[in-house]
Structure 1
Amino acid sequence: MSVRLSSTGLAVSGEGSLAQAAGFLDAVLRGLGQVMLQNNSYAGLLFLIGIFCHSTLFGLAALVGTTVSTAAAKLLAVEPDQVCDGLFGFNGALVAIALLYFLHPEGLTWAYVVLAAAGSTIVMAAMLRLTQVWKVPALTAPFVFTALVFLLACARFGRLHSTDVLPTAGLPASTAVEGVVSLSTVVEGLFNGLAQVFFQSGVVTGVLFALGLLVSSRRAGLAALLGSLTGLLVAWGMGAAEPAIRSGAFGFNSVLTAIALGAVFFAFSWTSAAYALLATITTAVVFAAVSAALQPLGMPALTLPFVLVVWVFLLASPLFRNLRAAS
C-alpha cells in the first residue's frame, strides 16, 4: 500500500484494509469540501476544524452525516470515482447538521440523522439521473429536499422535539428597518455569511472556511468573500434587519452562487464575472422570497435559493455566446 499527499488530498494505491480506510477518509474529507464545490481534502479538513471551533456537536454531526452517506454510496456500489470525489458525502453532512440544528440532540434524533443521511444518498442518485437530462448539476438539492421532508415529518412525531430556531409558522409580515449597520456588522456579517453555509457562526469559523477555499482555489476563495459581501450589501440596501445582516443570513446562499458561477462552471472572463455578480445579487432577493414563501409552513429556506438561481443561470447560459464553460 502507498499513501502520499497530492495537491488535492490523499493519493492511495494498493489493496488491503488500510488502503481502503485511507481512501474512505479522503472521500469523507472531500465530501465536506464539496459542500462549497471543492474536490479537495485539505479544504474539507479546514471546514471540519472550523465547525468544531464553533460547536463540537455540529462537528460530530458533519462527520456522522458525511460518513453515513458516503458509506451508503459504497455499499450500493456507486461509481467509485463519484464516491472518491465526495459527491455522495456533502448532502449527508448538511442534512445531519441541519437536523441537529433544528432538533434537540437526543438519542432518537441521532438515529433520525443517520436515516436521513443515508436517505440523502438515494435522493442524490435520483437527482443525478434527473439533472443529467438538463445537463445541470444536482448541487445541494438532495439536502434541501431530504431536510425539509424530515423536518416537516416532526410535526407528526411526538418524540422529536424542535428547538426554537425554526421559523414561526404564519403568514409573512412586512419587515421594518431595524438597527444600525456598523463596521462590526459588516465584518461579522461577511464571515458569518461563509460560516452559515454549514449552519455555523463566528468570525473565526468564517475565516477558517475562507482559508479552506483559498487552499483549494484562490478564485473560489475570492468569489466566496465577494458573494458574502454582495448578499450583505443587498440586504442592507433593501432594508433588512441589522441582526439578520450581522448573522450572515443573507450571505450564505450568495456565497455558494458566487463560487459556482464565478469559480467553477464558467471560464473566467469579464462577462462571466458580471454574470456571476448578477446571479449573486439575485440570490439574495430569492432568499427573501423563498423564506417568505416557506414561513407559513414554519420551514427554513436552507440552500434552496442557491439551487434555484444556479439552475436557472446555467440553463440559460448556452444561449449566451460570450460565456464559456470551464474545462
Structure 2
Amino acid sequence: MKLSSTGLVRDEVGADTSGPVMRALGLIDTILRGVGQVMLQNNSYAGLLFLVGVFYNSALFGIGVLVGTLASTLTARLLGADRAQIRDGLFGFNGALVAVGILYFLHPGLLTWVCVVVAAACSSVLMAAMLNLLRAWKLPVLTAPFVFTTLCVFLATARFGRLHSTELLPSAGLPQGATVEGVVTGSTLLHGLFSGVAQVFFQASPVTGLLFLAGLLVSSRLGFVAAIAGSLIGALVAWGMGAAEAAIFSGAFGFNSVLTAIALGSVFLRPNMASLAYAALATAVTPLAYAAVSALLEPVGMPAMTLPFVLVVWVFVLAIPVFPRLKAS
C-alpha cells in the first residue's frame, strides 16, 4: 500500500498488506471509498466528508452508513469478488444506501438492524448479478441494487408484524391530482439547492448538503459544479411544473437530478458542448421521472428513492452510441 491522491491509501496488486495496521488502513480506505461512490466518487476523502455530513445531521444514519457499507463490502470479500472493484468501493455504496434507507423508512430496533445487515449483504449479491447482466449492454449498475433491495424489505413489512414503517413511508392509495401549494421564494430555492444534495443520503439538511459539496470539490471540480447545477435544475423544473413549495424546500425534487448531473456531466461522458447539453437535458427530465415513478408506486405505498435517476441514466447511456458527437468516457 502507498499514499494516494484519491484516498488514505492505495492498495495495489503485489503490495505488502500483511501488517495489521496496513490491513486496517486498507479496510478504512475501502469503506470510505464505498461511501464516496454513492455520488460516483472513487475518493476516500470525499467519502469521509460525506460521512461527516451524515453524522452532522444524524448519528443514527451515520452509524447506519458505516454498518451497511461494512456489511456489503465484507460480503463481497468473503465471496471472492474482484479485488479492484472491492477496493474502489463498488461493493460498498449500495450497502450504505440500503442501511440509511431502511433506518429512514422503518422504526429502528434490533430486528431492523438485523434487516440492515442482511439487506446490505444481499445488495452485494444483487450488485454482482447486475454487473454480469448489464455487461452486455455496457450499462452501469448505479444504485439499482439499493432500490430493489429496499423495495423488497418495505413490501415485506405488510406480512411481518415486527417491522413497523415510519410515517415517512408513503400511504398506499390511488394517485390524486396535485394543486400548487405554497409560494416559492428565493429562500425556498436556496434551501432546496443544498438540501437536494443532502437528500442523496436521505438528509434534509443544508449544512449536510454543503459538506457533501465540499467532498465533491475535493474529488472532482466538475462533479461539484454538476451537483450544484443538478440540484438547481431539479428545483426549478419542479417549481415550473407546479410542485408543492414544501417538497422543493426539502430537496425532494433535487437529489435524483444531482446524481443524474454527476453521472452524465462528469463521469460517463467526455466533456464537450454536446455532452453538457445532453447531461442538462437528462437532468431536467429527471424531476419529471421522479414525479412519474412516485405516482406509479403510490398505490403500493412505496417511495421512488433513486429509481428515477437509474432509469434516466440507463436510457441516456444506451442512446450514446447513436449520437456521434457524444463520446463515452
TM-score of Structure 1 vs Structure 2, range by shorter chain: over 0.9
Following superposition, the deviation at residue 10 of structure 1 comes to: 1.6
Where in structure 2 are the equivalents of 1:88-107 lying within 5 Å?
A: 88-107=91-110
Give 1:129's match in structure 2, choosing from 122, 129, 132.
132
Distance (Å, rounded) in 1 between the aligned partners of 2:57 and 2:317: 34
Contact 2:192 2:251 survives alignment (8 Å): yes
Q: Does 1:204 align with 2:207?
A: yes
After superposition, the C-alpha distances for 1:245-301 in whole angstroms (9 at most, x for unaligned) are 001000000000000000001111110000000000111100000000000010000
Find the counterpart in structure 2 of residue 297 from structure 1: 300
Find the counterpart in structure 1 of residue 24 from structure 2: 21
Where in structure 2 are the equivalents of 1:34-73 lying within 5 Å?
A: 34-73=37-76
Find the counterpart in structure 2 of residue 191 from structure 1: 194
Contact 1:258 1:276 survives alignment (8 Å): yes
Following superposition, the deviation at residue 19 of structure 1 comes to: 1.9
After superposition, the C-alpha distances for 1:21-52 in whole angstroms (9 at most, x for unaligned) are 21111110000000000000000000000000
Distance (Å, rounded) in 1 between the aligned partners of 2:186 and 2:287: 20
Structure 1 residue runs of 5 or longer lacking an equivalent are none
TM-score (norm 2): 0.97
- Identity of counterpart residues, as a percentage? 62
After superposition, the C-alpha distances for 1:71-92 in whole angstroms (9 at most, x for unaligned) are 0001111010000000000000
Contact 1:232 1:248 survives alignment (8 Å): yes
Find the counterpart in structure 1 of residue 309 from structure 2: 306
Structure 2 residue runs of 5 or longer lacking an equivalent are none
Find the counterpart in structure 2 of residue 258 from structure 1: 261
Q: Does 1:165 align with 2:168?
A: yes
TM-score (norm 1): 0.98
Find the counterpart in structure 1 of residue 9 from structure 2: 10
User: Helix, strand or coil for the counterpart of 2:29?
Assistant: helix
After superposition, the C-alpha distances for 1:75-120 in whole angstroms (9 at most, x for unaligned) are 1110100000000000000000000000111111101110100000
Distance (Å, rounded) in 1 between the aligned partners of 2:10 and 2:265: 28
Distance (Å, rounded) in 2 between the aligned partners of 1:4 and 1:119: 32
After superposition, the C-alpha distances for 1:293-317 in whole angstroms (9 at most, x for unaligned) are 0000100001000000000000011
User: Helix, strand or coil for the counterpart of 2:33?
Assistant: helix
